[in-house]
Amino acid sequence: MLMRTDPFRELDRVTQQLLGPGTWSRPSAMPMDAYREGDQYVVAFDLPGVTADAIDIDVERNMLTVKAERRPVAKADDVQMELSERPLGIFSRQIVLADTLDTEHIQADYDAGVLTLRIPIAERAKPRKISIGVGPGHREISG
């Protein structure tokens, strides 16, 4: 139901390590999990240290785009950074959603640095039983 659009993810990861944080013109990828749970797909993105107001979710046709920005922590004038390993900048992920998903009813929750999207399967894509009646040409479809 979900198709990955970044077949070169490992190359992106190595490039990110070499080139540093993402920018609006060259965002970094974010790790994710995707799985089916009953009549919906769940997609979870790791975004530790990102505030909810710095996350942008868009759906255009079948393309789901998640962008987030991890900003530097505000520092007092007398603070000198000794070590900074946590990546800052722009993170983005695009996923092509199958036509069988209901993009009008996506739910998004953000808790403990994890953005979770729940995407229901469209009613038209759910399995249906076809009952067979007696007589020629008599078939009913039930939901």
Residues in CB range of 77: below 8 A, 6 or more apart: none
Query: What is the SS3 assignment for 108?
Result: strand
Q: Write out pLDDT tens, residues 67-94.
A: 999 887 777 778 787 877 777 888 889 9
Domain ranges of the chain: 1-10+23-74+86-123
pTM for the complete prediction?
0.68
CA 45 vs CA 17, 25, 58, 84, 132: distances in Å: 19, 21, 15, 23, 45
Q: Write out pLDDT tens, residues 87-137.
A: 788 888 999 999 899 999 999 999 999 999 999 998 776 667 777 777 666
Question: Which among 99, 111, 91 is positioned nearest to 44, based on CA atoms?
Answer: 111
Q: Note the pLDDT of residue 9.
A: 57
Lookup: tokens for 50: 């990102």
Domain 1-10+23-74+86-123 has CATH 2.60.40.790: yes
User: Mean pLDDT score of the chain, rounded to an integer?
Assistant: 80
